[in-house]
Structure 1
Amino acid sequence: MKTFTLIIAAAMVVAGPAVTPAFAATASDYAVGPQYDTTHVYVPQDQFDTFVASFVATFGGSTSKQGEFQVTPTKSLTKSQLVLTPSGTVSVFGFRTPIPYPFGDERTGYLVTDIEAAVKSAVSHGAVRRIATFPDPIGRDSVIQWPGGVNMQLYWHTAKPSYAPLASVPENRVYLTPDAAPAFLKGWTGFAHAHVVSDDKAAPGAEIGEPGKTIRRVALDSGYGAMVVYVSDGQLPWPYGRDMTGYGVADLTATLAKATAAGAETLVPAFATGKRQSAIVRFPGGYIAEIHSDTAG
């Protein structure tokens, strides 16, 4: 969750002194829409362009204009660019300076209608602020943490951006133990007005690399998009737990072929899990992602 968030690169409109929000919250649900929510991807600055090209070649879509900005409240400099694909958006950062704390740990950036109210609501639902709300050239931002160490950035724009709906809403993939899962689920569902799509308390552990074990899998949906929470003993083999986002595609085989041709490495070959085919890949620069498609029947 970069300071003036991922979308700063896409909407480099230098805001004036206006402080009136461009839109108002309704019924304390501060979500704007999943097309405005992005995974934050940190890559070595010398692999920045390679990653962006690989991600676009795999999923299609377009990019914002690349720039170099200070995206933290303290002095720093990073390359920054948005990659907008039909399967989800990523905000890419390639720092030229050391990354100031606590940036780099946040997994996602969520656009909200009212930053101060959203942060207050998150705290009331069990989150803690990792950094106080701060201004950026086009809005305001904050970094928060939920039980279990789930870090995210909330951000607000003075001028509301306008992005097309996604063809497939990506999944925020959260791995927790039973110690943290109840508090996280209670807090997130309360804050996000999320509803439970499914709650399988006896899902096969093979889904997260633990064959022979049983796990709990909770699928959630909200104005912030999809989320799947895996509750297990935490004894995850590589690379499970490093995959922050799952991307839905129409044809997994074809997408994996594109990824390979674009320099990505398949870490977990495609396998069947329920009515889904799933694989995990690592893109140039180190970003690890799950990719899936639904199966017939």
Structure 2
Amino acid sequence: MRSHVLLAAMALLIAPASFAATQDFSVGPQYDTTHVYVAPGDVDAFVRSFAATFGGQSTPQAVVTVTPTPSSTSSQLVKSPVGAISVFGFRTPVPYPFGLERTGYLVTDLDEAVRAANRAGAATLVAPFDDPIGRDAVVTWPGGVNMQLYWHTKKSEYTPLEHVPENRIYLPVQSADAFVKAFVAFAHGKVVSDERAAPVADIGGKSGVFRRIRIESGYGKATVLVTDGHLDWPYGAETTGYEVGDLDATLARARDNGVKVLVDIHAETDRRAAMLQFPGGYVAEVHSAAR
């Protein structure tokens, strides 16, 4: 027993600074949004269909500049009991690398959060800049996973979610472990499951297996899907999976509001799931717990 204690103490002494105790900058999954870019002419139809499908409500639309270089876009936040989205309808060309980030995560201190992400293994793709209601930055993780970090000048109060959505991240085997190690360290998260042989049918395949890693943290849920890239559309086109209480009722509302059901309800390992496409092209996975 004494030798185990000694080894643990030595490991702490020689651990690199990047793995020392650091601050958790997360605020809560209700403040995290999926970024959705649609053509200006599709914005209203998309917002209506998303809100009607999931029971959400949109903030008023505003035309603003949300990038550090000149641009113009409509911007609005749609909050629902199963997750929020930030909707952008650019009137100008979208400056690089915007449009490639999948999510926006609210943090308590933007500059320190960016530095913490850098220490964990992320690169700063867009250095911190001011926006109309706060400050933003974009970081990129191993595997090319881009995420926006943001901070609001005025504190927001959002209702906790009924169901926390999952950030669905498709990665090749060569970068999956590096991403998980880096993101978990930054997010103060934990790997809740690591299935080395999940059935490929869960992501539209015919036969074979893939690796599925599920992570939870103060930023919500993330599912890393490690594949060889041989994916049938629309798998890989979705960035978010929304958990709902009644999947059948959700799909009925979706169909009534102009949403295409790309993959109908089917059983997966631990859930019932479907794939939807909203007006404007946004693809989402929707699921409920297995019966």
Q: Distance in 2 between matches of 1:44 and 1:159?
A: 29
Q: Distance in 1 between matches of 2:58 and 2:207?
A: 42
1:275 Cα deviation after fit: 2.8
SS in 2 for 1:180: helix
SS in 2 for 1:152: strand
Equivalent residues of 2:65, 2:132 under 8 A apart:
no
Q: Aligned pair 1:157/2:158, yes or no? A: no
Q: Aligned pair 1:102/2:71, yes or no? A: no
Letter in 2 for 1:127: A
1:137 Cα deviation after fit: 2.5
Equivalent in the alignment of 2:14: none
1:257 Cα deviation after fit: 1.0
Equivalent in the alignment of 1:57: 52
Q: Distance in 2 between matches of 1:193 and 1:51?
A: 34
Of 134, 138, 141, which aligns to 1:143?
138
1:62 Cα deviation after fit: 1.2
Q: Aligned pair 1:200/2:195, yes or no? A: yes
SS in 1 for 2:174: coil
Equivalent residues of 2:64, 2:132 under 8 A apart:
no
Of 244, 268, 291, which aligns to 2:286?
291
Equivalent in the alignment of 1:233: 228
SS in 2 for 1:50: helix
Q: Distance in 1 between matches of 2:61 and 2:154?
A: 20
Q: Distance in 2 between matches of 1:233 and 1:40?
A: 26
SS in 1 for 2:41: helix
Q: How does 1:236-251 map to 2 (within 5 A)?
A: 236-251=231-246
Equivalent residues of 1:39, 1:107 under 8 A apart:
yes
Identity %: 57
Q: Distance in 2 between matches of 1:39 and 1:157?
A: 17
SS in 2 for 1:142: strand
SS in 1 for 2:238: coil
Q: Distance in 2 between matches of 1:275 and 1:133?
A: 40
SS in 1 for 2:173: coil
Q: How does 1:160-175 map to 2 (within 5 A)?
A: 160-175=155-170
SS in 2 for 1:179: helix
Equivalent in the alignment of 2:5: none
Q: TM-score, normalised by structure 2?
A: 0.91
Unaligned 5+ runs, structure 1 = 1-25
1:252 Cα deviation after fit: 0.8
Equivalent in the alignment of 2:66: 71
Q: Distance in 2 between matches of 1:244 and 1:212?
A: 23
CA displacement, residues 198-248 of structure 1 (integer Å, 9 cap, x when unaligned):
111111111112231111111110000001111111111111111100001
Equivalent in the alignment of 2:211: 216
1:197 Cα deviation after fit: 1.1
RCO higher in structure (CA 8 A, sep ≥6): 1
Equivalent residues of 2:165, 2:243 under 8 A apart:
yes
Equivalent residues of 2:66, 2:132 under 8 A apart:
no
Q: How does 1:255-294 map to 2 (within 5 A)?
A: 255-294=250-289
Q: Aligned pair 1:182/2:177, yes or no? A: yes
1:254 Cα deviation after fit: 1.0
Of 38, 42, 47, which aligns to 1:43?
38
Q: Distance in 2 between matches of 1:107 and 1:251?
A: 26
Equivalent residues of 1:204, 1:211 under 8 A apart:
no
Q: Distance in 2 between matches of 1:84 and 1:274?
A: 29
Q: Distance in 2 between matches of 1:138 and 1:41?
A: 19
| Structure 1 stretches of at least 4 aligned residues deviating more than 2 Å after TM superposition | none
Q: Distance in 2 between matches of 1:232 and 1:76?
A: 36
Q: Distance in 2 between matches of 1:171 and 1:275?
A: 14
Q: Distance in 1 between matches of 2:156 and 2:282?
A: 26
Q: Distance in 1 between matches of 2:66 and 2:270?
A: 41
1:27 Cα deviation after fit: 4.8
Q: Distance in 2 between matches of 1:211 and 1:160?
A: 48
Q: How many residues align?
A: 271
Q: Aligned pair 1:116/2:105, yes or no? A: no
Equivalent residues of 1:87, 1:170 under 8 A apart:
yes
Equivalent in the alignment of 1:82: 77
Larger Rg: 2
CA displacement, residues 249-282 of structure 1 (integer Å, 9 cap, x when unaligned):
1111111111111101111111101231000010
Structure with the larger helix share: 2
Q: Distance in 2 between matches of 1:58 and 1:85?
A: 10
Q: Distance in 1 between matches of 2:41 and 2:263?
A: 26
